[in-house]
Amino acid sequence: MTSGDDDALSWEGDDDPTLDARADRAARSAPDVPRATARPAAAAAPKATPSDEAPSLGSAALVAYGVLGGVFALYMVGWALGGFRLRDRVQADTGAVADVMLQGAMWLGMLAPAIWFVAAVVLTRGGPQWRRFAALAVGVLVLVPWPFVMMGAMGR
């Protein structure tokens, strides 16, 4: 008899009923029915029940998270460009160095999209996916980089 590692490298034994996943599901759904074959000791290890496993994301959800993450990354760049141009305009118009409040608001504006994305993902972890997408969509609408939109890429 070959070992389990050698079985994995060959095509032999595919008709073994202990390797059939459908038989495992049927055995779990009807635990009172005795099994016709004994399971090997290695296969008798406790398996996670479907309720213990985390639900996997579909491909569409992963693509949507990637697109929304990209939008938030672009928002961070937009806030950085707009904030630095706004700071330069304030300094050019008034001749004064930008104060601490402007600097703090500029950096908070740059970090706000990342903070929103992380908070939306972490705080909606246990809930349904539509709630996470709704929180991210609200962030896309609320965190538009207004200094970049109002001053443009080149500034005035």
User: Domains of the chain: which residue ranges?
Assistant: 4-44, 59-151
Number of C-beta neighbours around residue 89 at 10 A? 15
* Cβ pair 80, 149 in contact under 8 A: no
Q: What is the mean pLDDT of residues 4-31?
A: 64
Residue 6 burial (C-beta neighbours within 10 Å; 0-12, 13-18, 19+): exposed
Q: What is the mean pLDDT of residues 29-57?
A: 56
What is the enclosing helix (H) or strand (E) of 88? Answer: helix 59-94
Higher pLDDT, 15 or 87: 87
pLDDT at 92: 79
Q: Specify the DSSP class assigned to residue 40.
A: P
pLDDT at 45: 54
Q: What is the mean pLDDT of residues 136-153?
A: 85
d(Cα 8, Cα 20) in Å, to the nearest integer?
Answer: 14
d(Cα 77, Cα 19) in Å, to the nearest integer?
Answer: 52
pLDDT over threshold 70, residue 80: yes
pLDDT at 55: 62
pLDDT over threshold 60, residue 88: yes
At 110-131, the pLDDT tens digits run: 999 999 999 999 999 888 889 9
Length of the chain as a residue count? 156
Q: What is the mean pLDDT of residues 67-82?
A: 92
pTM of the shown model: 0.58
CA angle 92/80/65 to nearest 5° reads 165
Q: Which two tokens stand for residue 45?
A: 């290890």
pLDDT at 67: 94
pLDDT at 46: 57
